[in-house]
Amino acid sequence: MKNVAITKVLKLKSTTIFFVHGILDPIDFLALQAIRKGLDDLPGSNYFTSWDFTSEPCNFAGVYCDGDKVIALNLGDPRAGSPGLTGNLDPSIGKLSALAEFTVVPGRITGALPESMSQLKNLRFLGVSRNFISGDIPASLGQLRELQTLDLSFNQLTGNIPWAVGALPTLSNVILCHNQLSGSIPPFVSPRLTRLDLKHNELSGTLLPNSLPSSLEYLSLSWNLLTGPVDYHLTRLNRLNYLDLSLNRFTGCIPGILFTFPLTNLQLQRNLFTGPVLPMSQVTIPTVDISFNRFFGEISPLLSNVQNLYLNNNRFTGQVPAVLVDRLLTAGIQVLYLQHNFLTGIEINPTVEIPVSSSLCLQYNCMIPPVQTACPLKAGKQKSRPTDQCVEWKGQKGRPTHSAHLAFWNFQIIVYISQMLETIKTKKTTALQILLPTPVLRYNSKKPDLAEIAAFTTRRP
């Protein structure tokens, strides 16, 4: 092998770096040989065809050198649709002492992450995603003090997230989603951390104080088993542009200041959040999903600029703000889901046509008469709920309040009188004996006081 200078180009993000190298260090040479023995191309992949150890390894596909040392190793064909690699990661990877970047394309690599990776003191980027890596995340990765990006997503990792990993001082991206990680979330101390993605795991417990740095711009903890309040944590994360806490068991209130953050997507659905939703100013977040919680109170008109608004399956009461209806009819709101709440009214012309690009779902509220218009198919199948859910309860369970009785009778009588007037018109009835319909009589064994109902009707606005 001739000792001649060879130039190779590595494109890392937006930077193009030229490396000049000669004969590879023997330790690195042997490490590459061991790595090659542990891996093979999947059918359809030709990545290793260039790995001919009778030639200079720094010319191999995915191998980048600086001088006589390997500084970057990108295993597998990075082109979209490449089948990837199979086999195991050999512990000899820890011998590549100058390695700053190590990545593997999606494939079928199995086994554990080698503990020897802790020897890569210069490693800044570690990306082994979309394979079948199993076992624990080595706590020894906490020795990689220069590590900036850790992406082990879409694998079969188990166990806890090591606290030593959370303590790494230069982390900017941590992506551990779609694994089987359990236990609590350790504190992440890096002031440079902008992306934390832990969704689709089995993490549990409450968030520890100061566990999330204020530098975060992207936070996804969805599809876990996390509990407890988060309002303290959220008030500090004023740089967030994406927040997804959905499908957990978080409790407590949502601070109004959250709606002032530069968010483009707010996903809080399917938790146990409660309290009123009180934005501090006009909300400009394009998508807000707070469905399937326990929020109550009236819907804030400050949500009218949200393009996709999911408020369904909560305990909201009162009228639908007119400004939301106006925005819906002008296609300013594309999705407005209000089903399964306790709303009592909406001012909308029943003959008006909702824009094709917009969707409205109002079923299963407390409006009189009840909404009959079906929800869009994309809203999903609407489960029915008990017919007495909208009754104002007071005292002993099963006894509706005075106003609830009157509202019910008022509606039934209006319907009945309308029916009888139609009968008079069509059948030329000369005498009308007003009797309450049988279904109404079955509502309560006590005969209603019609004078009381009439008085109640005149009091209504």
DSSP string, 212-271: S-TT-SEEE--SSEEEEE-HHHHTT-TT-SEEE--SSEEES---GGGGGS--SEEE--SS
| CA terminus-to-terminus distance, the chain | 95
Question: For position 290, what pLDDT does the model report?
Answer: 99
Q: Give, in order, the Cα–Cα distances in Å from 336 to each of 104, 197, 275, 331.
A: 42, 28, 21, 11
Which regions of the chain carry the CATH code 3.80.10.10? 253-261+269-390
Q: Which amino acid is at 359?
A: S
Q: Do residues 183 and 207 make contact, with C-beta atoms less than 8 angstroms apart?
A: no
pTM, to two decimals: 0.81
Question: For position 384, what pLDDT does the model report?
Answer: 75
* Partners of residue 72 on adjacent β-strands: 64, 101
Bridging pattern class, strands 108-111 and 85-88: parallel
Question: For position 434, what pLDDT does the model report?
Answer: 32
Residue with tokens 């820890």: 94
Q: In what order do the strands lie in the sheet with 108-111?
A: 39-41, 85-88, 108-111, 132-136, 156-159, 180-183, 202-205, 225-229, 249-251
- Per-position b or e across 130-162, b if 16+ CB within 10 A of its CB: bbebeeebbbbbbbbeebbbbbbbbbebeebbb
Count of beta carbons in the 10 Å neighbourhood of residue 293 = 22
Yes or no: is domain 253-261+269-390 CATH 3.60.140.10?
Answer: no
Question: For position 20, what pLDDT does the model report?
Answer: 45
What is the rounded distance in angstroms from the CA atom of residue 282 to the CA atom of residue 270?
24
Structure tokens at 128: 């082994």
Q: Give, in order, the Cα–Cα distances in Å from 87 to each of 28, 43, 105.
A: 20, 13, 13
Per-residue pLDDT tens digits of the chain, which is 461 residues long: 334 334 444 544 434 444 444 599 999 999 999 999 999 999 999 999 999 999 999 999 999 999 999 999 999 999 988 999 999 999 999 999 999 999 999 999 999 999 999 999 999 999 999 999 999 999 999 999 999 999 999 999 999 999 999 999 999 999 999 999 999 999 999 999 999 999 999 999 999 988 999 999 999 999 999 999 999 999 999 999 999 999 999 999 999 999 999 999 999 999 999 999 999 999 999 999 999 999 999 999 999 999 999 999 999 999 999 999 999 999 999 999 999 999 999 988 877 889 999 999 999 999 988 887 788 888 877 777 766 778 753 333 334 444 444 444 444 444 444 445 554 454 443 333 333 333 333 333 344 444 444 443 333 33
Residue 178: phi and psi, rounded to 5, are 55, 55
| Angle 219-222-224 from CA coordinates, rounded to 5° | 125
Give residue-wise pLDDT tens across range 264-303: 999 999 999 999 999 999 999 999 999 999 999 999 999 9
